[in-house]
Amino acid sequence: MHLFNPKQYDRFYPDKESAELIQKTINFFETKGKKRIKEDDSKRVWYRDFLDFQKQEQLFSKFLTPTKEGDGTTRWDTWRNCGLNEILGFYGLAYWYTWQVSILGLGPIWMSKNENLRKRAAQYLKDGEIFAFGLSEKEHGADIYSTDMVLTPHGDGWLANGEKYYIGNGNEAKMVSTFGRFADTNEYAFFVSNFEHKQYELKKNVVDNQNYVANFALHDYPVSKDDILEEGTEAWDAALNTINVGKYNLGWASIGMCTHSFYEAINHASKRNLFGKFVTDFPHIKMLLTDAYARLVAMRLFGWRSADYMRAASAEDRRYLLFNPIMKMKVTTQGEEVMNLLWDVIAAKGFEKDTFFEMAARDIRALPKLEGTVHVNMALIVKFMPNYFFNPGQFPPIKQMS
């Protein structure tokens, strides 16, 4: 079992085009180099170069457009998506984040029966645009029972008023899948809004890094029937299902960051000679590196197997509902533990501004806290575990991808 190695990437993909596009992505970051990546991070530079690259290569379009909506060259493929998650995490969480929140924004769109909006999304992807998921609110977080985004009847449509908070890509998303409720019926709704509309107020970026995590407000924002993605129970289901699909990706981002940090830690220690011995010869350092490696390999193995259950998911086969929160909760918290172990190896070097480790040590803490906290996902695990172990359904074995 080996970890991701950008110098020798040999993960299996069933088609040549996927392998080539993945390799182009690796080449983009290797050409940019760690020095530029770290400079952009420290100066909080919006990752326009990466977005231009993905536009030129049609990366998001080919990976995130379902076959039905595409031009024959696209598909939504969990296996290759999780591979890209790992790679983007390996080079920096900011690059992973803009991809991740686009996935979330697209979730309600691809689940919608609104064919025109699905076609519009496919075209925007082809144009290189990014997407956003307008669910969270400052006062309610992800408590979607309590949304204050309200659609009031107006003519043949509605006027939307309210604020959203923690909305990644909210500064440039042509389609923001926005969750709210109808004022007259109190039923839930998903509709699309656009950052360029004059009734869309981009209030601020709530974080101080490369990402744009928006607080935006809609002021009498006009919403027509053509802008509605889902209503009622289907809107609620779209919110939860989107989070279920999206939160799985956090584990892979953690794996990518830990892998890069592992390489830095072992390279530093193996070249450092103290008291006549290389640091990697010290017994306690061997123990720390072995522990970190074992945990990291376990994280990756579990991620691969979880991908199989995600691929096989259906209304009848819902085993992914157990593997998914474990991937999100346990893999990401293990990522924190791997970083703790490695920090005892790399020591003061881990604070230096020219290391990837310094960036990863900061960002690794975010992943257990996104797309539902550790506590929420633990509750889901407890909910599904009794049936999984003591009252299992009968399902065919799931074949592993090679």
Residues 291, 311 contacting (CB under 8 angstroms):
no
For 133-174, what is each residue's pLDDT tens digit?
A: 999 999 877 677 889 999 999 999 999 999 999 999 999 999
Q: Is 311's pLDDT higher than 70?
A: yes
Domain covering 133-231 in this structure, CATH number = 2.40.110.10
Domain covering 16-130 in this structure, CATH number = 1.10.540
User: Distance of CA 59 to CAs 4, 24, 174, 201, Å?
Assistant: 20, 10, 17, 29
Average of per-residue pLDDT across 307-328: 86
Domain with CATH 1.20.140.10 in the chain: 235-390
Average of per-residue pLDDT across 353-373: 90
Residues 169, 98 contacting (CB under 8 angstroms):
yes
pTM for the model: 0.94
| 43 Cβ neighbours under 8 A, 6+ residues apart | none
For 25-56, what is each residue's pLDDT tens digit?
A: 999 999 999 999 999 999 999 999 999 999 99
Q: Is 401's pLDDT higher than 80?
A: no
User: Distance of CA 398 to CAs 15, 170, 309, 319, Å?
Assistant: 21, 38, 7, 11
Taking the C-alpha atoms of residue 174 and residue 196, their distance in angstroms, rounded to an integer, is: 7
Domain with CATH 1.10.540 in the chain: 16-130
Domain with CATH 2.40.110.10 in the chain: 133-231
pLDDT at 140: 79
As beta bridge partners, residue 216 has 164, 202
Q: pLDDT band for 3, please (50, 70, 90 cuts).
A: very high
pLDDT at 1: 53
For 186-207, what is each residue's pLDDT tens digit?
A: 999 999 999 999 999 999 999 9
Among 290, 358, 297, smallest CA distance to 331 is for: 297
CATH topology of domain 235-390: Butyryl-CoA Dehydrogenase, subunit A; domain 3 (1.20.140)
For 223-261, what is each residue's pLDDT tens digit?
A: 999 999 999 999 999 998 898 888 889 999 999 999 999
